[in-house]
Every structure is written in structure tokens, then in C-alpha cells.
Amino acid sequence: MVNTSTEYVCLVALGGNLSSAVGSPRETLAAAIDMLGQIGLRASAVSRDFQTPCFPAGAGPDYVNAAARIETALGAQEVLTKLHEVEAHFGRERETRWGRRTLDLDLLAWGQEVLPDRARYLHWQGLSPQLQAEAAPDELILPHPRIQDRAFVLVPLLDVAPDWVHPVLGQSVRQMAEKLPKEALNEVVPL
């Protein structure tokens, strides 16, 4: 019998800077990884935990960040829905963009797909920092439009998917990380 299901490698960023009902941000991230496995999103690789400064500066305690590689036959929107369910389980409230949170699970990539299409992806990727803070897409944009700009995402990804190639930029995680300023990379400290 031929297997017709397609497995996608999903990349997920994890973060948090507030305690949840299960404990510290590190304990919350570990519990979230366990819960993802229980709902069918088993991580085939999980990075170390890293401490990173809160953004914007002074907005709260430092973050704990990590990354996971998940292999799944689920569609991108289904994966995102499950990530939001896990966030809600751990007390995530979506009050302020880039605000304090118990748990943040970002779907960074779903295989090599560019969603919803290349033109809309390029629109969101090209937004200025000011517009990024003001506008949020009303549809799933993949890969995450800011992946190449964020040391707190790329450094953990080096642990789980250093050779994953961005389908639009044509650069691996390793290459994107090498292009970041040393100061930004040095702010991401292993715990």
C-alpha cells in the first residue's frame, strides 16, 4: 500500500517571560512541548533554552526562548490552531502585541511553502519596523516574515534546523544567523 500522506517539517518558536500555572517560563516551555506531543505535534528536535532581553526594552522580564522541529501531515492552519490551543491552556492572553506572556508559540515555517502566496508574503516581509508594530496580518503568512531579523529565533533554530533553507530568501538558518550583528547574537544566552 502506498502512503499518500505528506509529512511537513514545521519550525516552531517558543517563548515566554511570565510564569504560568505550571511554573517558571522554562517549566512552561517544557510542559508545552509535552502537550504538543499529546495532541499530535510531536517534536522531532527541541533546542536548548535561551535567555533573551524583553522587546521592546523595559516592557517586562527577559524571555526564555527555544525552537522545535515538528513533523506532521497536518495543514498549516491546523498546526496554527493547535499551537493557539496550547497557548490558551497555559494562560496566554492576546491583549498587547509584543507584550508580556506566559507562552508564545509561533509557527515559523511549514515545509518549504510560501503562504498565502509570494506577493502577499513579500508585502509583509517588506514592512518598515514602524508598520510592523502597527499592522498585523489577518491571514497566515509563512515563513514568518521576520525570521531573518530575529536572533532570538535564529539562535535556537541553529540547534534544530541549521540547514533549513528559507524558500524566498534562499538562505539557510545558519546563513541568516551569520548575517545578524554580533551584538544581537550575543544577547541570546544559553540557560
Q: How far is CA 19 from CA 61, 63, 128, in A?
A: 11, 11, 32
Length of the chain in terms of residues written: 191
Strands (E) in the chain, as ranges, are 8-16, 43-46, 50-52, 63-72, 104-110, 189-190
Ordered by where they begin, the domains of the chain are 8-190 (3.30.70.560)
Structural element, H or E, at residue 78? helix 76-89
Considering the chain, what percentage of its residues have pLDDT values greater than 90? 77
pLDDT of residue 130: 79
**Using CA of residue 164, residue 15, residue 120, residue 41, what is the dihedral sign?**
positive
Q: Which residues pair with 172 in a beta bridge?
A: 165
Give the integer Cα–Cα distance in Å for 22 and 20: 5
pLDDT in tens, 124-163: 999 887 787 777 788 899 999 999 999 999 999 999 999 9
pLDDT in tens, 62-74: 999 999 999 999 9
Query: Is 82's pLDDT higher than 80?
Result: yes
Task: Give me the mean pLDDT over the 168-187 stretch.
Answer: 97
